[in-house]
Amino acid sequence: MAQKQYFIAGTDTDAGKTLVAGAILVAAQDAGLSTIALKPVAAGCEITDEGLRNSDALLLQKYMTQPLAYEQVNPVALTAAIAPHIAAEQEGRRLTVDRLVGLCRGAMMQRSELLVVEGAGGWRVPLNAREALSGVPVALNLPVILVVGMKLGCINHALLTVEAILRDGLPLAGWVANQIDPDMHCYQENLESLRQRIGAPCLGAIPHLPLPCAEQAAQYLDLTPIL
């Protein structure tokens, strides 16, 4: 089968992109598919004996089926857990869409049936003075799966992000609701409001998980519309 490729975007930082990406990898593997996952740029890395390592990228590497070196999964690793363009400036590095696209294309040549590329922060997180990370999925022409962090204000965040994705010329392949606020008031009403307003299939609604893990989250997903 031809490789399915998707970009995992979030309505905000900590919306649950990595949890959902991991859950998609688990569900895809359960369906018998080979998978690859990339996180082109990660801010918030720890110094290890092997070099800088990001917990999100390590999780993706754990759940994908095809063996890729860490440096292919996460080619740009930044130490500070802040906006990537600021972290890069502090380290004397420069982020560009072209460079990230080139790094992604190299890894995308590896054989797999499903490829997911996880973003950083929200859709318009800057890379430099003129470019945003959203330029990467645009250049790679990747359909988008949006992770909506379910909390107060999520409807506005989600609809504005959907508008931006579509305005950038990319299809919204689907979206996932991830309840990050366990005490969210009117959760079901908010979820239904999003279902009515987002013109793409809801791939699942993940309830608040006290100890989030991809295997558990995968039980709440239906990947039929994208696989």
> Is 39 tagged catalytic?
yes
SS3 109: coil
CB proximity list for 109: less than 8 A, separation 6 or greater? none
Encoded amino acid at 68, one letter: L
Q: In a 3-state reduction of DSSP, which class is residue 227?
A: coil
CA distance 114 to 64: 9
Sign of the alpha-carbon dihedral angle for 100, 111, 34, 224: positive
Pick the catalytic residue: 4, 17, 39, 151?
39
Q: Yes or no: say if 174 and 187 are a contact pair by the CB < 8 Å rule.
A: no
- Computed on alpha carbons and rounded to an integer, the radius of gyration of the chain in Å comes to 16
**What residues are labeled active site?**
39
